[in-house]
Structure 1
């Protein structure tokens, strides 16, 4: 059974806070890539973190080749309760990428009033959508 100290060390190694990410990106702009892996209907995915690439978890396996192996991939999802970024990190780590999860996802980023960008408007005429985000 994992001791608590080992758990917390592993957790710190696997995650990065929004503040730590911004500091690391400032020090090494080419060393990191932010990736939005959120899944859900477009009407609730209204924004993304500034500088983020959008690859929903459901498309990650097929689009993995778009990600550079020489950068640390910082994955984010909705909030602390969402597991999409963790699932994405496991997939990337299993495929020899360097990946970390952004603590708190979009919610933490917004709470800190860090910049976001709007996502394109919905073009689908469908009014009935599932709210299942697959978290």
Structure 2
């Protein structure tokens, strides 16, 4: 018996996080389109999801590759599932190691991350939401 394909719609964008300072006011962060980015800029990658089916969707996995021009922000939650080997294995950053060219291994760091993953345990029909992560331009 063929399984019916799950219908989860995904869309995403990338924004630059800019600090705006106005006289007499506290600095605030604003998200702007990334017309020009330079090393050190903080970006937010957002993925919107929506269950477009009439059925409950369970254990829906969203995997986001991380472009080599950016590094995962060091303040990423420690519970975030990541990969440092091209998306072959996932775990929290503290659980992962990287093998160096000389064969030695070391603890994985935020700049080693190649992919991020989220598992959405259940999506009711019509349910929607957003997942996001921050990265720094290398």
TM, length-normalised to structure 1: 0.24
More helix, by proportion: 1
TM, length-normalised to structure 2: 0.23
More strand, by proportion: 2
